[in-house]
Amino acid sequence: MEKEIVACIENINLKYLESGQVSKVVFPMERQEAHKQKMIHLITRFFIISLSPKGEIRYLVQKRGKSKTEYPEYFTDSSSGHVIWKRNLDLKKIKEDAMRELEEEFGIPSRALIRTIFYKLMDEKDNKEREISYVFFGLVDYNIPIKPNPDELDIEESRFYGRTELENILKTRKSIKSAQKLWKKLLNTDISSLFENEAKPNFSQSNNIALFIGRFQPLHHGHIYVIMNILKSYKIVKIGIGSSQLSNTFNDPFTNIERREFIQATLKKRRISTKRYDIYDIPDIFNAKRWVDHVVSIVGKFDAIFSNSDWIRELFQNKGFRVETKIAIFRKKFNASNVRRLIIKNNKSWIPLVPKEVKELIKEFDGINRVKSLNPADN
């Protein structure tokens, strides 16, 4: 059997998960070794709900199998499992892991999910280990068939339950605490609003102001391609400098002032009037639930947001904002991490990836030596 390599993280880096910077802070470890060393690792939890045309709600609850080492015969979420380590791990890949577990445990394929929502990050601790769970809520068809996996679940009691039945389970049966809290949350949530976006949207139907957030470490032609395309449809673009408080680190070598100069110099060269854009510093607060409100408090009103980050897109969609279609060109090539890697290797192919104005500013800021000096491999 192939060894399962899970995504682990050091305690000092947990806060970066709250800003979606997963791939920068996780590292791989074989599953059994991670448990042996009590390494903090990532898992997913899926809570599945069905809603009938008449408004009847059912909740898919798993009862863990009798042979399970941890919490045998406890009621829990719908499905859960470890996040498998991958290069460039992000929210999209983590969601795919959650969907894989759902199919393995209940036979529900990802195509059967009508809607999936990332709800929150949850820090779970017990006497044996510590896990960081990515919690997802999912909506499926009311009549969807399920096939509980006898190797994983109690096949008799792992099924859809009505509200009263679930309340009784949470009161009288053994259940995992973290799952119990979230089922209670869902029992007190307007499910129609949660999944069908019946809440009042946070955008207008006009195309006046767009928001675009990036870290610009450094600014490259991919960023400019997005901005120029936004300006074809919108009168003004508000540009947010993400992680603005960070600088002089390998992932964030340039200051917010330097990044602002990258943007201003490049747009000036392209004869974009300063009346058509504004630039805002957006520092991290390392709190996913509050982050969208934090951004809005800084940039003010806008009609839509553009982002190629699945993390940013998910958070704004969940708050009812209009999220426009991704705009990207050759993302593996036009990528700030790639630019920094090429600089470290003394590979001059980084130069055509950034505007000429940015290249000159990087040299002026002694950015080449700075990026090289911050390389963790040399320290």
Q: pLDDT for 328-347, tens place per residue?
A: 776 668 899 999 999 999 99
List pLDDT tens digits, range 72-129: 999 999 999 999 999 889 999 999 999 999 999 999 999 999 999 999 999 998 777 8
Same domain flag for 31 and 133: yes
Q: Report whether pLDDT(203) > 70.
A: no
| Range with the poorest average pLDDT among 27-41, 188-202, 262-276 | 188-202
Same domain, 169 and 273: no
More confident residue, 197 or 270: 270
Q: Are 223 and 181 members of one domain?
A: no
User: Do 188 and 274 reside in the same domain of the chain?
Assistant: no
203 in any annotated domain:
no
pLDDT digits (tens, 9 = 90+) for 50-63: 988 888 999 999 99
Check if the beta carbon of residue 137 is closer than 8 Å to that of residue 47: yes
- Residue 204 inside a domain? The answer is no
Q: Report the pLDDT value the prediction gives residue 196, as an integer from 0 to 100.
A: 66
Tell me the pLDDT band of 199, cut-offs 50, 70 and 90: very low
Q: Which of 196, 221, 255 is the last residue of a domain?
A: 196
Q: Are 279 and 241 in contact (CB under 8 A)?
A: yes
Dihedral sign from CA coordinates of 241, 246, 248, 251: negative
- pLDDT band at 379; cut points 50, 70, 90: low
Phi then psi dihedrals of residue 7, to 5 deg: -90, 120
Specify the higher pLDDT residue, 9 or 332: 9
Residues 155-194: tens digit of each pLDDT: 999 999 999 999 999 999 999 999 999 999 999 998 888 8
Q: pLDDT value at position 207?
A: 81
Same domain, 217 and 137: no
First to last CA, the chain: 37
Asked whether residue 230 falls in the same domain as residue 345, the answer is yes
Residue 377, pLDDT above cutoff 80: no
The answer to pTM > 0.75 is yes
12 & 144 share domain: yes
pLDDT tens-digit series, residues 29-78: 999 999 999 999 999 999 999 988 888 999 999 999 999 988 999 999 99
Q: pLDDT at position 70, please?
A: 87
Q: Does residue 259 sit in helix, strand or coil?
A: helix
Provide mean pLDDT across the span 243-269.
Answer: 97
Same domain, 74 and 144: yes
Please indicate, yes or no, if residue 201 is contained in any of the structural domains: no
Mean pLDDT of all residues belonging to the chain: 93
Contact status, residue 329 vs residue 233, Cβ threshold 8 Å: no
Cα–Cα distance for residue pair 115/138, rounded to 1 Å: 6
End position of a domain, from candidates 196, 229, 245: 196
Q: Give the pLDDT of residue 198.
A: 39
Distance CA 367, CA 370 (A): 5
Assess whether pLDDT exceeds 90 at residue 3: no
For residues 292 and 182, state if they share a domain.
no
Residue 67 token pair: 């042979």
Is 269 within a domain?
A: yes
Q: Is residue 116 part of a domain?
A: yes
Position 123 in a domain: yes
* Coarse DSSP helix, strand, coil percentages of the chain, rounded to the nearest 5 percent: 40, 25, 40
26 occurs within a structural domain: yes
Looking at the fold, whether 235 and 257 belong to one and the same domain comes out as: yes
pLDDT exceeding 90 applies to what percent of the chain? 84
The CATH number that applies at residue 276 is 3.40.50.620
What CATH number has the domain bearing residue 79?
A: 3.90.79.10
Instruction: Answer yes or no: are the C-beta atoms of 73 and 174 closer than 8 Å.
Output: yes
CB 20 within 8 A of CB 90: yes
**Bridge pairing between strands 113-125 and 130-140:** antiparallel
Q: Which domain holds residue 307?
A: 209-378
Number of folded domains in the chain? 2
79, part of any domain:
yes
Q: Check whether residue 226 and residue 96 sit in a common domain.
A: no
Residues 236 and 173 in one domain: no
Taking residues 198-215, what's their average pLDDT?
76
User: Cβ of 10: how many Cβ atoms within 10 Å?
Assistant: 11
Q: What distance in Å separates the CA atoms of residue 249 and residue 270, rounded to the nearest whole number?
A: 30
- Domain-ending residue, one of 167, 196, 225: 196
- Average pLDDT over every residue of 228-233: 96
